[in-house]
Structure 1
Amino acid sequence: MLDFNTIEEVVEDLQNGRMVVLVDECEAVGEGVLVMLAEQATATSVNFMTRCASSPPVVAASRKHLKALELHLQVSKAHEPMDASIMVSVNARAIAGTGVSAQDRAATIRKLADPDSVPEDFVQPGHVTPLQAQPGGVLRRAGHTEASVDLAQMADCQPVALIAAILDEAGALADASYLLDFAREHDLKITTIHDLIAHRRRTEKLIRLEAQSPMPTRYGEFTAYAYRSLVDDNPYLALVYGEVADGRDTLVRMHSGCLTGDALGSLLCDCGEQLAQSMQLIAAEGRGVIVYIQHHEGRGIGILHKLKAYELQQQQGLDTIEANHALGHPMDSRDYGIGAQVLYDLGLRRVRFLTNNPKKRVGLDAYGLTVVEQVPIEAAPNPHNIRYLTTKRDKMGHALLLKRPAAEDENHAKSA
């Protein structure tokens, strides 16, 4: 789209001390933020962000940088919005005022970006809130926090950025049209997270192929490709059936590992049945890929915490989301950016996505993949998992019809 600037143009403006506008979607209502390098913050820039964006600026920084300053999460991740990592607010110890003024905030922001700062340079709580970016940046999580830190690093500066959400006159999140007008009015460059992901995908690779071997299965002969993430060292296993690098639409299942469902035959979820159906469908089609993500166990909380969540569901009547929150975990902490890189590395470009979860496909086009179809994959509910499946449909937006076998006893479902 001609109205948006290139990543190179945006980085150049950041290096020259200017602000830029960063948008998460170029054609939809979505959040846009003002971004500048935190080390160049002044009272004037802080005041501009507050007045023109209509929201208080916050500091986005890498996990490593915030850890060195011994800054901690404000609340448990179970209660953080949109998987954000919000840290305890701070003031620079050296400021003379209360920390509220634009001058004081700018001093705190610059101190947060200073590579020579130490934990003793700050007091908590204060009036500047840091946000923690995920390692791997937008190739792991396509958020404004990660994107702004990525841009700061691409500008050869400290991994610390100053951002402020842009609101419209009604106080709502501005849409793309408003954001384009805002950028033109203030003579600011504007780009999208989509374009940043595409840029990084072209110039960086965060996976490494470790092994490749034929794998005969009861559904046919697949080829197993074992990848390792260079971000967190986690394995990603791709099971490939047939020729998938020919540019044609390809069936794909991004499967979160589930020891209890996949290997032990648990009836508390539908994971094992979805994996089996995926392999059957792909074998019948003659081509396709399953990316098996082992560390996604329990939507990212691990096998021990998943079993603790089961215990809470049985003893206290909590649903799967409530149990996660009770244990201090978010509803869903999975990300699929590295899995998307695996698919791209295998030569896929157009995918038919085997999933009931619409969130799995969000943002995949930025990784060079076009989702041409979402193919539902639904197992028949049983008395043990009907509540779990209902929760996924009603609270997580999964496309499930939950058609029950005619002979199934309704009383069992009510007591599950």
Structure 2
Amino acid sequence: MTLDTDRFVDATFGTIEEALDALRAGRPVIVADSPDRENEVDVILAAELATPEWVAWTIRHSSGYLCAPMPASRADALGLPLMVPQSQDPRRTAYTVSVDAARGVTTGISASDRSHTLLTLADPSSGPESLIRPGHVLPLRAVPGGVLHRAGHTEAAVDLCRLAGLAPVGAIAELVNDDGTMVRLEAAARIAVDNGLVLVTIADLIAWRTSHGDTVEAKDAVADELGTQPRVHETHTAYLPTKHGDFRIHGYRDLRTGAEHVALVATRGLADQPVVRVHSECLTGDAFGSARCDCGPQLDASLAMAAEQGGAVVYLRGHEGRGIGLLAKVAAYALQDQGRDTVEANLDLGWEADRREYGAAAAILAGLGAHRITLLTNNPAKVAGLRAHGIDVAEIRGLEVGRTPHNAAYLHTKAVSMGHVLHLEPGIHQGTPIHLDPVQAAPAAPDVDTADHILDGQVLAVDPTNQETTA
């Protein structure tokens, strides 16, 4: 077939079936993404069949930056955490620490060494001890649902390897010209013809999966990666007496981010519709008693209500400063000292106003059996996030405590700029039922872990009130 747009010259494409045959034969395929996305072309190899010859060819025709996409479950099995806990990559590419094979390589940089590392990554018998860190291959964590949820080369590589019946671990590198500029479609078509390679697009792969009914992952991607991988893994449970009451504390490892979360569940057990607080980590407020926010008092009030009413508090790590991290939050405080508000400070530092997502919280609540809850929050985005991940937020209760002269401007900004439902007049409104329309939540950047769908570069937002996609 041919593709003719204002940005793409005519080019001859192969079929997805031809691409799968090529991968099974140990040959690379060339995959172009949308002109509205990166507008780049990658070489994709199946890691389990990577040879020094084709790895050398890939290195020679690219910048040499060789990545290895894989499902998050495979990265976890190999002990590969994210390179940084809060990525600022605008495409949210999930880089892990770099690796070399622990045995059978020399310096790790040669084509032979890197092909051996790729074979190790794809070998199901490999474990964390099979690798050394850092190294010369960069594993990437693919998004559950593949290209139906994120139209990137990372997901395309995993999808193609899986559909070819191979281990779902690939090798990718971006094609570059001799002068170091990125190869576009016309040049990629010439490379494909000259080397007898198959050229396809991510849009082709999306259409193929859809037409062949390969949508299981997309339907159940929130709870399941390739049919097996949950979002969180429960580690241990213990008795935890507190000043607010007695709880059972449940520990969780976030299999997407590597963060450690906990849930405190009243020892009396959960009510039929338990009161629940999903609380974002805030060291300054929760531990130091900072008066710049209301986080500490909200946590205390939530624990007291949960203990008394048979509820739970889910405490999410990795949410410090609305997801930017502790040191970045301190930098934001410094800007606020100079007159910026809490949203402006984040934006000035190059962050989003709010980077949080609630997939892990929803998975924790589902695991506890809390499918229908009364949520303690003033934040419409939190309601929308939990509902998008399958939690029935049947009632919403406001939680206004801890107001001080130091956080008045902060609370005002949350109400005006972020859509939080707050009574800005003096007074305490603790546990008061409120109407909070999640559709009015402040807009957030597309997140591969939400129920948003990214299809060939287009984002379709999910209306949390009816779970239907709207453009």
Residue 201 of structure 1: how far off its partner (Å): 8.7
2:58 alignment partner in structure 1: none
1:276 alignment partner in structure 2: 300
- Could you tell me whether the CA contact under 8 Å between 1:215 and 1:221 is conserved in 2? yes
| Code of the aligned partner of 2:353 | M
Aligned to 2:329, the other structure's residue is in SS state: helix
1:221 and 2:246 aligned: yes
Query: C-alpha offsets along residues 77-119 of structure 1, whole Å, 9 cap, x if unaligned?
Result: 7795xxx4389xxxxxxxxxxxxxxxxxxxxxxxxxxx98xxx
- Could you tell me whether the CA contact under 8 Å between 2:250 and 2:264 is conserved in 1? yes
1:237 alignment partner in structure 2: 262
What CA distance in whole angstroms lies between the structure 1 residues aligned with 2:219 and 2:230?
Answer: 17
What CA distance in whole angstroms lies between the structure 2 residues aligned with 1:303 and 1:275?
Answer: 18
Structure 1 residue corresponding to 2:328, chosen from 302, 305, 317:
305
- Could you tell me whether the CA contact under 8 Å between 2:31 and 2:43 is conserved in 1? no
Question: Quick one: structure 1 residues 151 and 353, their matched pair in 2 at CA, closer, same or farther if it must change by over 3 Å?
Answer: farther
Query: C-alpha offsets along residues 292-326 of structure 1, whole Å, 9 cap, x if unaligned?
Result: 123211112222221121111102x1111221222
Structure 2 residue corresponding to 1:294, chosen from 295, 299, 317:
317
What CA distance in whole angstroms lies between the structure 1 residues aligned with 2:395 and 2:259?
Answer: 28
Structure 1 stretch displaced more, 235-244 or 216-225? 235-244
Structure 1 residue corresponding to 2:418, chosen from 396, 402, 408:
396
Question: Quick one: structure 1 residues 143 and 188, their matched pair in 2 at CA, closer, same or farther if it must change by over 3 Å?
Answer: closer
Question: Quick one: structure 1 residues 79 and 153, their matched pair in 2 at CA, closer, same or farther if it must change by over 3 Å?
Answer: closer
1:369 alignment partner in structure 2: 391
Structure 2 residue corresponding to 1:387, chosen from 409, 423, 434:
409
- Could you tell me whether the CA contact under 8 Å between 1:214 and 1:224 is conserved in 2? yes
Q: What is the 5 A alignment of 1:52-71?
A: 69=65
| Code of the aligned partner of 1:337 | G
1:258 and 2:264 aligned: no
Alignment root-mean-square deviation, CA: 4.8
Question: Quick one: structure 1 residues 42 and 275, their matched pair in 2 at CA, closer, same or farther if it must change by over 3 Å?
Answer: closer
Aligned to 2:221, the other structure's residue is in SS state: helix
Query: C-alpha offsets along residues 23-61 of structure 1, whole Å, 9 cap, x if unaligned?
Result: xxxxxxxxxxxxxxxx76689xx8xx88xxx99977799
Question: Quick one: structure 1 residues 245 and 200, their matched pair in 2 at CA, closer, same or farther if it must change by over 3 Å?
Answer: farther
1:208 and 2:215 aligned: no
Gaps of 5+ in 2: 1-14, 20-27, 48-61, 68-85, 95-113, 116-138, 173-199, 429-471
1:352 and 2:358 aligned: no
Aligned to 1:376, the other structure's residue is in SS state: strand
1:85 alignment partner in structure 2: 92
**TM-score, normalization by structure 2:** 0.51
What CA distance in whole angstroms lies between the structure 1 residues aligned with 2:270 and 2:161?
Answer: 33
Residue 16 of structure 1: how far off its partner (Å): 4.5
Residue 276 of structure 1: how far off its partner (Å): 1.3
Task: Report the identity percentage.
Answer: 33
Query: C-alpha offsets along residues 332-375 of structure 1, whole Å, 9 cap, x if unaligned?
Result: 22222223222222222222222222222335356453222332
The structure that is helix-richer by fraction is 1
Aligned to 1:276, the other structure's residue is in SS state: helix
- Could you tell me whether the CA contact under 8 Å between 1:201 and 1:367 is conserved in 2? no
2:135 alignment partner in structure 1: none
Residue 203 of structure 1: how far off its partner (Å): 2.4
Question: Quick one: structure 1 residues 154 and 250, their matched pair in 2 at CA, closer, same or farther if it must change by over 3 Å?
Answer: farther
Aligned to 2:399, the other structure's residue is in SS state: coil
| Code of the aligned partner of 1:235 | E
What CA distance in whole angstroms lies between the structure 1 residues aligned with 2:240 and 2:43?
Answer: 43
1:130 alignment partner in structure 2: none
1:33 alignment partner in structure 2: none
- Could you tell me whether the CA contact under 8 Å between 1:61 and 1:145 is conserved in 2? no
Question: Quick one: structure 1 residues 325 and 55, their matched pair in 2 at CA, closer, same or farther if it must change by over 3 Å?
Answer: closer
